[in-house]
Amino acid sequence: MQSSDELNLCTNTAPIMSHATMPQTTSLQRRRFLRVGILLGLCALMLTAAPRLRAAEKQSPVREVEGRVLNNNDEPLTNAIVHIRDMNNMKELTVFVDENGYFRYDELVRTVDYRVWAECNGKKSPEKLLSSFELRDLFQLRLRIDIPVTK
């Protein structure tokens, strides 16, 4: 049999901390910790939001659409008319093409959706949607109408 001194050497006799002896945080320390956490969170939010705000400042309030009106053989339709319809108020603009079938309009409001199509000799191209959710400033379109070119 072992003596009580030998038992104490064999067992782990680390002091056990009771709830009363554990260090306690005061409400003042908790409030300081909370304030620091909130400040760090706000700093992180500002750092991630700053590039997005700068990008929004650079965006122009208006956008542009340009392109060509072609037949199925990629030949320009010089007598075509391009229609641009504002989907908010249903107002419609018309733009004439040049001798190369090229058109351009540069006063599209960024927050409005538009439908664009071309007409020539009573035939019409499929409509294209210009969404207000698109981030680009310039829309480039190819509007095709299924008619032969008369020369």
Read off the pLDDT of residues 54-110 as tens digits, 9 standing for 90 and up: 555 566 688 999 999 999 889 999 999 999 999 999 999 999 999 999 999 999 999
Strands (E), the chain: 62-70, 81-86, 92-96, 102-109, 114-120, 123-124, 128-130, 138-144
Residue 5, domain member (yes or no): no
Please state, in angstroms and rounded to a whole number, the distance separating the CA atoms of residues 38 and 125: 56
Residue 43, domain member (yes or no): yes
- Assess whether 86 and 108 both reside in one domain: yes
Residue 27 or 107, more confident: 107
The number of folded domains in the chain is: 2
pTM of the predicted protein model: 0.60
Residue 150, domain member (yes or no): no
117 and 95 Cβ atoms separated by less than 8 Å: no
> Is residue 5 scored above 70 in pLDDT?
no
Residue 33, domain member (yes or no): yes
pLDDT tens across 86-101, in order?
999 999 999 999 999 9
Q: Beta-carbon neighbour count of residue 75 at 10 Å? A: 12
- Average pLDDT for 28-56: 74
